[in-house]
Every structure is written in structure tokens, then in C-alpha cells.
Structure 1
Amino acid sequence: MYRSIGALLVVLLVLVSCSNPNPNQIDYNITVTHKDSIDQLKVEMKFMPSQDGITILEYPNSAWGQEELHNAIKEMALEKVSGTIEVNKDSGWIVLNHPENLKELHFRYVLQQDFEKPITSRKTYRPIIQPTYFHLFSHNLFMVPKSAGESLDLVINWNGLGPKDVIQNSFGSQQKTQHLKTLPKQEFLEAIFVGGDFEVNAIPIKDNTVYLATRGEWVPFTVGDMKAILKETIIAQRDFWNDHTQEYFTVTMQPIYTPNGSSYQGTGITNSFATSFSNNEFMEVEQMVHLFNHELMHNWIGSIIKNENEEEQYWFSEGFTEYYAFKNIAKNNINEAGSTHFINEMNSIIRKLYNSPVFLAPNSEINYENFWASRDYANLPYYRGAVFAFYLDLEIRRLTDGEKSLDVVMHQILEDAREKDQKLNHDYFLSVMKPILGEQFQEFFNKHIENGEPLPLGDLFNKLAVDFSPQSDVFELGFTFNEEHKVISNVIEGSTAYMAGIRNGDKVISSNIWYGDIERNAEIGIERNGSTQNFSFLPVKKGPVPQIQNTDENLTKLGF
């Protein structure tokens, strides 16, 4: 009798469990399909809806500098029940009105690329759905019920793929069915999903695996180059942080169209980073080295060490990441770049900072709107933060006779982020720095980070006994383009552009400009009075911008 009652209780518990579905579970069934010769992704969802009959699905209309993302949604429908669908673009919501007290809701939507070819750097953060491949970030692929909470149980199935097609994402390689348990929603929404004609290479690193997913034939470098540099970078960075715990990591490389010059960008996200490179002769291996080292550093700075207010701490999450990218490359001689690389990169970033049109902008102006709308504001926290990190590194070395460096601070910040879930904010950063640099550091920080006043590098370099030159050539294009980038205006008399012959009103036919680079000629093709002309000039001027000298004494002070 005892055993029979026990068995009955087990059965009842199972029945109760089955009758109460998991409100955090979402099943996605995704099918690669074609309609009227147009490539699409059909997404079918199954989940527990809100019991009051109103379920909100989150799908941002604006994200990562992109607007009108809802344009990619071509169909939406409730299945098996009657109801209505409302779209609230301002909130980034899809509102489903359905019967109350449902245990399960079926919903379907279709995504389609909302722009014409070519794929350029400005389009890579939109859903890309092509005949032979797709490339999407999870926030513009998956709708997520607001009621599901902050920890999700997910099942993702892929259908409609060819026998040779690849599936690669932030959570697995070549898995057409994935079960993701207790996954934080934020990690899910900051992920990359690609598929189709990608080539996937597995790179073993100290009992863990990194996957490199690329598309097509590359002009500037081979897949072998990419694998070698990626492996060097990951080993060096994981050794720096004493962290080889990440069993899975994926890197995607998508070729983009750039008619003149080169362009490259990357985004560090959950268990992965996604990159885009110009696939032409202007792209150089050194640019790939820099991007890999910057973006992979976000595995720690930005992923584990999180900003409390995203843009407000970009001086740290982007600027300190930039500094440690330079340092990592040089310290580990990645791609045979050594200490000279570090000196050259720091001098370059000092020039870019002190020549920026928004050089004096306070930190409060580095906000979402400015960062995504303006190249100058987007670059400012990289430059300002990297130069600030460089100074702090030197100052800590000076005060401790070389026994400590900024590395000690970074390891403490990482430990606090892991052990205490500490977010990076200004008060916390000051609390870490004051025991090393004293109470007066708060005034220094407020002046040069909060208020944006320039560091007096000449005076600081003198205090630090760093050999430097007091002035240098700095980048000056010498004119501006109109908004459409088709006409030249505001040519500066006496500039190298003016002396080369460029004038206001010239119509732009072609341009190849390495912004911030004082060693490469700018190439401009124009039309004037019915005839075409080509100009080549070095876009520089002299400026009172200090530059570090490449001496043995300096390299010793820098820890090389």
C-alpha cells in the first residue's frame, strides 16, 4: 500500500508539472524560405502568454545605431486562436491581444532584408538575408515575450537549409537544434546568428575551442592568416587575464563592399564577436590585427566588467580596451609587431584626440544620439580613454618604481565584477584609484574625464621623465564634404588640399581617405566645368601635439 501511494503521488506530481508550463520557455522554429524570388526567414514561436490576454513581444525598432528595424517584418499572425496584433514602434513592442488564460500561444512572423545590395558597413547591423546566407544579431531576429522574465529556456530549430549549409552562432557550431537553459535574456539578445555558405574552422586553444566563420574568397589575407592571428590574440589575452575558462567562442567575418579605401568594424557580444571587413586591395593585415585585439578584449571589458550607464563609461569600455589592444599586440609581438608598434599607435591616437573637432566636449555629450550619429563623437571615447589609460599606466609605474602598473587595477576591477557583480561607474573607479594615486585624483578625473579638459601632456611627460617632441604633423583634410558626400565645401586656404588645387563646389567622383593617417596621401577625383581631375596630397598640418620618442629609456618606463 505504501508503495502504491508513493507511485500515485509521483504520477500526480508529473501531471501537475505538465499542466503548468514553464513561463520562461520559448520554442523557435526558423525556416529559410523564398517567396516570389525573395529570401526570407519564417519564425514560428510557441510560448506561455500573459494570462490577462495581452502579451507584449519585445523587438526594437531602433538599436545599435539602426532605425526602422521593423521594416524587416513582412508578416505576422496569431495561429490557432483569434486575436489582434498592434505595433508600437516607439516602445519596440509587438502587442498581441488574445484569449485569456491560455497555456500556450503560437505566433508566426516573417523577416526579410529591407535594403538593396551592396552590403556596406552601415548595413551590417540590419538583418541580412541573402540567397546563399544570412547574418543577423539576435535582437533583430528573435521576438521575446516581455512576460518571460530575465532568464530564458529556449529551443531553437533550423529548417530549409541545404546539405552543405552552415549554422553558426554565439551558443554553438553546426547545431540545427539547440536547447539553451536558464540563459540570461540580455546575453541572448546580444548574440550573432549566421548561416548558409560560411566556412567554419575550429581552432583548439588550451583544451577549449574557438570557431572562425568566414564567407567567400578574401583579397587582402587568407583564412590561414586569420586563424593564426586569431589564435595568437586569444592566447595572449587569456594569459593576461589568467582566464582560460571559456570553452566555446565564435568569430564571424563578413566581407563588405567599400568602393574606395577600406573599412572594418566589429562587435564583441555573448561568447563571440562579429566582424566586417572590406574585401579589397586597400585592406591590410594590420587592420585585422587591431580589430581582433580590440574586440576580443571586450570578452572582459564590456562583457564581464559592465558599464553601469553604457555611453557614460565609454571612455573606459572603449578607451581602455583600445589601450590594452595596443599593449597586447606589442607585448606579445602579434603579427611580428613589437614595442615600436605601441609607440606609433599611442602617438597616432594622441594626434587624433588633439585634432578632433569635439576634442573639448564634456563626457555628458558622449550619449547614444551623438555616438551613433557622429563619427567624431563615436571616436572621442576611444581616443580620450586610451590616452587617459596611458597616463595612468605611466604614473602608477612611476609611483611604485615599476613594481605595479595599470594591469593591477584592471585585475582588481575584473575580480570585483565577478565576485561582487560590481558595475563600472565613476564612483567605483575613483574608489579603486584613490588608494594608489591619492585623494587628489578625484579632481583630476573630474577635470579630464567628466569635463573633457585636455590632459596637459607636455607637463605630464616632463613629470614622468618621458622623452617627447613638443609638436608634430597632425591630420587636416583641408575641406568638408556636403551631407551627401558629393560636393566639396569649406576648403581651407593654405591647406595641402587647397595647394593641391581642390576648390569649393568641386563635384566628387571618387575619394580614398585614410582619416587620421598622416602618412598616406588622400586621393580625390572631382568634376569641374565638365572635365575631370584627380588630386593626391598629404592631409597634414603642424600642431602643438606632443609625440613620444622611440627611445630605450621610454620603452623601459613603459614596461617593455
Structure 2
Amino acid sequence: MRVVAAALALFCAGFAAPDRVEYTLRPEMLDGAMRALGVSLTFTGDADGETVLELPSSWGGEEELWRGVDDLRAGDGASLGAGAGPQFRVLRYAPGARVSVSYRIIQDGEGPPVSQGRGRYRPVIQPRYFHLIGETALVVPDVDEGRPARVRVSGLPRGWRYASDLQHGGLAVANLRASVMVGGDFRVLNAPNGHARVAIRGAWSFTDRDFAREAGEIIGAQRAFWGDERQPFLVTVLQQEAAPGNRSVGGTGLSDAFAFFATPNADAGMITRTLAHEGNHTWIPGQIGGFPRDETLERGSYWLSEGFTEFFTGRLLVRQGVWGPAEFAADLNSMLDAYAQSSANTAPNARVIADFWSDNEVQRLPYRRGRLLATIWDARLRAEGRSLDAVLRAMRARARAGDPRTAGEMFLQVAREFGVDTAADLTTYEEQGALVRLSEDVFAPCGHVLTEDAPRFHRGFDIDATSANNNVIAGVDPTLNAYAAGVRDGMVLLRRDAGEIGNANVELVYVMRDGDAERTFRYLPRGHGAFTRQRFEIAPVLEGEALSQCRAVLAGN
């Protein structure tokens, strides 16, 4: 029996699993509340006895992310030294040894997440839950990115749930950063069609079942567009607090998940659109060539990654039947209005690269301009019997076949092969910042695009100063309608009951506290002067064959 056992051991050793980089997460609890998340990291070291550890640094507009890493220690037989900067450490050990590192993930700030116009990408560690994005929470060793990896959780309190897009086999070090991990009082459920899993917490205006069903349907439709089989996909939903009267919806697309952030008053339409946008990032740009490795160059290609994602968000929502022509037009017109009034609408791409994370108007520019350029190029392709759909599918096929070019580089070549030369447009609109205009018949036979003058939108007070002043009204302009309606500096903004931010033709309704009284103010939010905008106007009679043709144009069928 010993001979058989020895032979079996040698056989198993010959087929042992490849060395894995292992993470174990464990909540640290005190009096029933979590105060940190302990992390144990183990891997087999290199033959030279030295490995650089990379701490979280900057990502998604967040800086100094290493501040969320506490008490970083080397295990027995190893030591830690300073690296080339605060985000690096050098781990030293016996050559080829199995080494371990431990640290604590902490929240470097007080209180629950608060909406700041975008998601909370820094680690969130709260008494009853945690929310982590790999880019901002994991310490990653500088090893071959193809090395197998595994992330586990242990010691969860009774009743806690854990969900991550890292909960499946075949993981490698390359998958660690573009991931999300949540645990605590999240509710975890599967979409009925099996295309998505949802982890959600907090109270919403919609049910968990409805959200999971819609997430599954949107992801399923996107997979059908790309001809993909069903694969694991996780949607996490983190609720954020907001100032009275404000609401926010956003998220970040990851490799096979997206992390969703919203205030509890977010409406279903905003959520549907964000789901569709972030779901598209599963393919765009990662599967059609990806980003340049340099972060600066990456920002320079957001016209494609974000602009094309915006374009296909509208296209696929129409194809799925979630939107009709009216909903498509309303969404496009809202963007056209914002683009026309933006202070950054003629900024060159060099400014996008420089100011993307520091100027909100600059940040929105590649979404808007890229969507408009995609619309123009798709119309040209359709005139040749092709479509932008076919261009992106061809790019994906080339990327899968090993084409080393980035998405931006590959797009120029593939589009040219399909009959559309985009180089001159990129020079004019991206490099030089010229204003993009749609042709009148770009959506024919759905209707036409009008170019018209419209009144400028203005709340009548300084919203930025008001928000910075704990919602105490500041900067009321005595020449505008808010003042005429009775709004004064020093009142406290409680909420907005009606109105469309950016639309000067829709009445705003604000509720404010004036001393001890609560008052309602109604007025048209018009500023001084006018601006030139474009607007997509649906044909007055659109039914039967004309409606079918219109849907085909908008859906790319």
C-alpha cells in the first residue's frame, strides 16, 4: 500500500495545479460592527528573492489610494522595504519561497458614501457592509499577469452575503484589478434569464426582482448583438447619500461586472440607461482592441470608448424594444442641449487629456462628441450598405486573432476598409475641437434634425456655491426669473419637485425653507441671451411601414 501511495503522490505532484496568487478577505468586527477588512496575500516568490508590491495609487479620478491600505506586513521569513514611490513596496525572501503578506483595507474618510457627481471608487468600509473595486483596494505583486489567481472570503458574520465577479474559475492576476467585491447586508439574486447576477442593498423605488430582470434582459440583448454565449456577469448597486433635491446615477464598467452607484431617489429611466451604458463596456473598448497602456493616452481615446458606448446604448435600447423613436429622440435632444450650452464644447482633445478628472464639462465632452461622430460615421456607412455594427464586430475579430493595435488605432483602418475615412474628422473635431453638427437627414425617415436658437438655461442662483454652502442659497441674480419669483440668498434649498436641468422651457419647482416657513417657487429657468442648438424632431405621422423603417435606422437593423 505504501508503494501505491508513493506512486500516487508522485503522479499527483506531476500534475499539480499551477502556482496561484491567493487572497483571503476577512471582516474585522468590533461590537458587531465592521471596522476594517483584513487581507491575506500569498504567492510563490521569484528565483531572485525579490518582488515589487504595487499598492492602489490613482484610478477613476481618485488619488493617493494607498491611504486605504493599513498595517501592511510581510509574513515569516520575509521583509518589506520602500519602493520607488508611496505606491510601491519591495518584498524580500528566500529565493523561490512561498511568501505571505497581510494588510487591512480601511475607509480613509468618515461616514457612508455621499454622491459627488460620480461613484465612490475608494474602498467603502461601513459597520454592516463593504464595497471594493480591485483597482482601489488590492495590493498586487509584480508577477506574470497570466499566473492563476483566487480571491476568497472567510469569517462573514451570520446573515452576511458576499458577491464578486471573481467568484469563478479561470482567474488570472490580470483579472484582479478590474473587479468588484461586496459583502454585508446585500441582497443577492439572479436574473430570470440567467444573464446577470445582482447584489443590491438599501430601499429603492423599484423591486429587487424588477431590477434583476431588467439587468438580465439588457445584458442578454448585448450578448446577442455580439453573438456571445451566456457568461457570468455581476451588477452591484451601492446607494449613496445626496443633498436635498439632488439625484445621481452612475457606475463603472469592469471586465465582467459593473459597479452601480445611485441616490435612493433615482428614477427607473436613469437606471435603465446607466445599466445599458455600463453593460456595453464589457465589449467597448476591451474586446475591440482596448486602451493604450499609458493612462494619459487612454484619456485621449475616450471619444471612442465612451462616445461609441453612448451611441450603442441608444441603438441597442431601441433594438431591444425598451425605447421607441420618441424615447431615443428625447435622450439625444437632452445631450444635444447640454453639448450646445457646454463651456467646453470646442475644447481640443488635448484638454480632455489634461482636465478630464478636474472639470465636469470637459469630462462629459468625449461622451457627447464621440456619440455624434459615431452617428455621422454610421450614417455614411449605411449609405454604403454597411453599418458601424459591422466595423466593431470586425475589430473584435481582429483583436481576438492577435491584432496588437488599440481600439482607436484599429478603428481608423477598419472603417477605411469599410468605405469611410475618419482621419480628417478626427483631426477637425477631436484634435482641433470644432463643433460637431448633424446633417438634417441623418435619421431619415424618422424625422429631421433642426438647428435653432433657444433661451439659455439658468437656475437664477449659483448652484455650485449653494451646494458648497450646505444648500444655503447663494448668488441669486436679481435680473433673472428666480429673483422675480421670490428666491433670495440665505434661503435653504430642500428639494426640486419639477423641472428638467438644462431645459429653459420647462418650469422649475423648488421647495425652500425661508426662516421657519417652507415655500414653493415656480419659474422658467432662463438666463440672458440665447444659444444655437440642434434638435431631433420626429416626423408628425410615424406609423406602419414608416415606423418600421425608422426603428430599423435607429436600431441599426
Same fold flag (TM > 0.5): yes
Partner residue in 2 for 1:521? 508
Question: Structure 1 CA distance, aligned partners of 2:408 and 2:9?
Answer: 56
Question: Structure 1 CA distance, aligned partners of 2:443 and 2:270?
Answer: 31
Shift of residue 442 of structure 1? 2.4
Q: Deviations over 1:224-270 (max 9, x none)?
A: 22123212212222222222x24211111111111322111111112
The answer to whether the 8 A contact 1:31-1:160 is kept is: yes
Shift of residue 559 of structure 1? 1.5
Q: Runs of 5+ in structure 2 lacking a partner?
A: none
Partner residue in 1 for 2:468? 485
Question: Structure 1 CA distance, aligned partners of 2:254 and 2:68?
Answer: 22
Shift of residue 103 of structure 1? 0.9
Specify whether residues 259 and 101 from structure 1 end up closer, same or farther in structure 2 by C-alpha distance, changes over 3 A only.
same
Aligned pair 1:253/2:237, yes or no?
A: yes
Aligned pair 1:299/2:282, yes or no?
A: yes
Shift of residue 455 of structure 1? 2.0
Q: Deviations over 1:117-170 (max 9, x none)?
A: 131234621111222211101123321111x12212223332211242212101
Aligned pair 1:211/2:197, yes or no?
A: yes
Partner residue in 2 for 1:429? 411
AA aligned opposite 2:242:
T
Question: Structure 2 CA distance, aligned partners of 1:102 and 1:411?
Answer: 44
Question: Structure 1 CA distance, aligned partners of 2:80 and 2:12?
Answer: 34
AA aligned opposite 2:203:
E
Local SS of the residue matching 1:546: strand
Partner residue in 2 for 1:453? 434
AA aligned opposite 1:307:
F
Aligned pair 1:468/2:449, yes or no?
A: yes
The answer to whether the 8 A contact 2:440-2:450 is kept is: no
Partner residue in 2 for 1:444? 425
Partner residue in 2 for 1:112? 106
Aligned pair 1:279/2:264, yes or no?
A: yes
Question: Structure 1 CA distance, aligned partners of 2:44 and 2:260?
Answer: 35
Select 1:134's aligned residue among 130, 134, 141: 130
Q: Deviations over 1:389-422 (max 9, x none)?
A: 122222333x23xx43322222222222222345
Select 1:103's aligned residue among 97, 106, 113: 97
Aligned pair 1:189/2:177, yes or no?
A: yes
Question: Structure 1 CA distance, aligned partners of 2:30 and 2:392?
Answer: 52
Select 2:63's aligned residue among 64, 67, 71: 67
Partner residue in 2 for 1:267? 252
The answer to whether the 8 A contact 1:200-1:212 is kept is: yes
Local SS of the residue matching 2:304: helix
The answer to whether the 8 A contact 1:56-1:95 is kept is: yes
Shift of residue 39 of structure 1? 1.4
Specify whether residues 374 and 430 from structure 1 end up closer, same or farther in structure 2 by C-alpha distance, changes over 3 A only.
same
The answer to whether the 8 A contact 1:48-1:105 is kept is: yes
Please provide the CA RMSD for this pair. 3.5
Alignment of 1:408-427 (within 5 A): 408-427=390-409
Aligned pair 1:168/2:163, yes or no?
A: yes
Local SS of the residue matching 2:131: strand
The answer to whether the 8 A contact 2:219-2:279 is kept is: yes
The answer to whether the 8 A contact 1:313-1:424 is kept is: no
Q: Deviations over 1:24-83 (max 9, x none)?
A: 632222211125865111112222234545431111222221123222222122222363
Q: Deviations over 1:81-118 (max 9, x none)?
A: 3634436655x21233x344251222211122221113
Shift of residue 272 of structure 1? 0.9
Local SS of the residue matching 2:100: strand
Select 2:553's aligned residue among 546, 555, 559: 559
Moved more, 310-319 or 484-493: 484-493
Q: Deviations over 1:176-209 (max 9, x none)?
A: xx7x54x44332210001112211111253xx54
Local SS of the residue matching 1:461: coil
AA aligned opposite 1:105:
V
Partner residue in 2 for 1:158? 153
Q: Deviations over 1:485-543 (max 9, x none)?
A: 2276776675444554557x657655648543554626374879x99976443334643
Select 1:537's aligned residue among 520, 523, 529: 523
Question: Structure 2 CA distance, aligned partners of 1:187 and 1:517?
Answer: 42
Alignment of 1:316-395 (within 5 A): 316-334=304-322, 337-367=323-353, 370-395=355-380
Alignment of 1:500-519 (within 5 A): 500=485, 509-510=493-494, 512=496, 515-518=501-504, 519=506
Specify whether residues 405 and 438 from structure 1 end up closer, same or farther in structure 2 by C-alpha distance, changes over 3 A only.
closer
Question: Structure 2 CA distance, aligned partners of 1:93 and 1:515?
Answer: 44
The answer to whether the 8 A contact 1:73-1:112 is kept is: yes
AA aligned opposite 2:77:
V
Question: Structure 2 CA distance, aligned partners of 1:322 and 1:374?
Answer: 20
Local SS of the residue matching 1:340: helix
Aligned pair 1:239/2:224, yes or no?
A: yes
Aligned pair 1:548/2:536, yes or no?
A: yes
Local SS of the residue matching 2:181: strand
Q: Deviations over 1:351-381 (max 9, x none)?
A: 11111110110112112x5222221111111
AA aligned opposite 1:185:
V
Q: Runs of 5+ in structure 1 lacking a partner?
A: 173-177
The answer to whether the 8 A contact 1:473-1:540 is kept is: no
Select 1:407's aligned residue among 358, 368, 389: 389
Select 1:33's aligned residue among 15, 28, 41: 28
The answer to whether the 8 A contact 1:339-1:555 is kept is: no
Select 1:312's aligned residue among 264, 284, 300: 300
What TM-score results when the alignment is normalised by the length of structure 2? 0.84
Question: Structure 2 CA distance, aligned partners of 1:526 and 1:87?
Answer: 54
Specify whether residues 33 and 353 from structure 1 end up closer, same or farther in structure 2 by C-alpha distance, changes over 3 A only.
same
Question: Structure 1 CA distance, aligned partners of 2:408 and 2:450?
Answer: 33
The answer to whether the 8 A contact 2:507-2:522 is kept is: no
The answer to whether the 8 A contact 2:473-2:493 is kept is: no
Shift of residue 291 of structure 1? 0.6
Specify whether residues 155 and 241 from structure 1 end up closer, same or farther in structure 2 by C-alpha distance, changes over 3 A only.
closer
Question: Structure 1 CA distance, aligned partners of 2:376 and 2:477?
Answer: 34
What TM-score results when the alignment is normalised by the length of structure 1? 0.83
AA aligned opposite 1:106:
S
AA aligned opposite 1:135:
H
AA aligned opposite 1:59:
L
Local SS of the residue matching 2:396: helix
AA aligned opposite 1:327:
R
Local SS of the residue matching 1:189: coil
Question: Structure 1 CA distance, aligned partners of 2:302 and 2:282?
Answer: 15
Specify whether residues 438 and 88 from structure 1 end up closer, same or farther in structure 2 by C-alpha distance, changes over 3 A only.
closer
Local SS of the residue matching 2:147: strand
Shift of residue 429 of structure 1? 2.0
Question: Structure 2 CA distance, aligned partners of 1:323 and 1:209?
Answer: 22
